[in-house]
A = this chain, B = another copy of it.
């Protein structure tokens, strides 16, 4: 069976070296990561198998990590993860969603078999894929093991991208530009919202002539009319676009699991003055904030710069205005590390990728215009080339 990992083994070893340094600093001898993005980051494993328990185990004094998962998925690990076959462990189907036993019983036995059950164990306490029961069973089965919270330990390593990762993110950016243009071209008065969204999801997968896209960690968010007054609703499958609809577009391109998010807004008709004013305020604030972003400044200073641009305009934005992004699986393309908001004192470094996303959701409608940027040695660089404006469309 030929390996089809995305990166050379040396790239995974580089990542593992940094993770082991962070483990040592945190007093963690063995790390259990169950976040599918972290599993992919450390091994290359890529399958839609995360609805059952699985994970990667990093051992402080062993070179290769261990993958475990459902037996029927283990060939997928042999194909996509860089490690040799003897580091891949499949468990029988009796463990799947069982009320008689639990996959963490299997994992405790595996840690014993690997001879590391007595070492301090780092687990991702606050992760979608690490349930309360998983911790309970591990504690019961490993009564002498010390547990240390390793939430976001790998996520923070992921936050600074290598040149080869940035190359894939630029490919995702090319897909993203096509996806956004497809959306804007598809939205017209009288068109069924479902048909516009169908064009968008097809563009996400078709990618460019040179390379294909992949499934997004967040499905296209493209609400219209009153549904734009809130975050995270999407299209109405039974509605057609109407005159004077606002349509929010929160979309992305994906390449090798690297995401490139982008938001824009479309108005169907002649936009009312208050929407035009909001758009001007946001776009001007966005541009001034991007000029400020550079290595050495803090996440909260970026937010403060943005907030300063709003002073006296009447526009308010009480939620965070951005976050770190990159390699992801559902349900989130954010990395859950840096947040652009008061209190986040993370100092920006070259290689970080931030989605500056000042979404405004008012009583009757919203406005979004965002930029994904790469922190460079001297400032920041837009990943995507797409006009920063309120788009207007008419239709048949």
B-binding residues in A (CB < 8 A): 1-2, 4, 46-51, 70-76, 78-80, 92-94, 96-97, 100, 102, 123, 125-136, 149, 151, 192-195, 197-199, 201-207, 211-215, 218-221, 226-227, 229-238, 255, 318-320, 329-332, 334, 336, 339, 341, 343, 359, 361
Contacts and interface: CB of A to CB of B under 8 A. Distances in A.
A325 to B, nearest CB: 12
A196 B197 CA distance: 17
A188 B218 CA distance: 30
Given A198-B205, A201-B205, A218-B48, A339 B233 contact: no
A48 B220 CA distance: 10
B125 A232 contact: no
Given A4-B236, A71-B318, A125-B133, 13 more contacts: A48-B219, A48-B234, A73-B230, A76-B232, A78-B230, A79-B233, A80-B233, A100-B343, A193-B212, A201-B205, A202-B202, A214-B237, A215-B220
A10 to B, nearest CB: 21
Contacts of A192: 212
Report the 3 A-B pairs with minimum CB-CB distance, sorted nearest first. Answer: A212-B237, A194-B212, A75-B230
A253 B1 CA distance: 33
Contacts of A48: 218-219, 221, 232-234, 331
A129 B207 CA distance: 31
Nearest to A361: B72
Contacts of A49: 231-232
A74 B230 contact: yes
A136 to B, nearest CB: 7
Contact of A205 (B93, B125, B194, B359): B194
Contacts of A133: 125-126, 149, 151
B341 A93 contact: yes
Contact of A128 (B72, B128, B136, B218): B128
Nearest to A72: B231
A64 B236 CA distance: 26
A166 to B, nearest CB: 19
17 contacts: A48-B221, A70-B319, A72-B231, A72-B359, A96-B319, A97-B336, A102-B126, A128-B128, A128-B131, A132-B134, A194-B206, A198-B201, A198-B202, A199-B202, A201-B205, A205-B237, A331-B331
A56 to B, nearest CB: 16
A4 B226 CA distance: 11
A116 B127 CA distance: 27
Contact of A238 (B50, B70, B71, B212): B212
Contact of A331 (B51, B73, B255, B334): B51
Q: Give the interface centre of A70, A72, A102, A213 by most chain B CB atoms within 10 Å.
A: A72
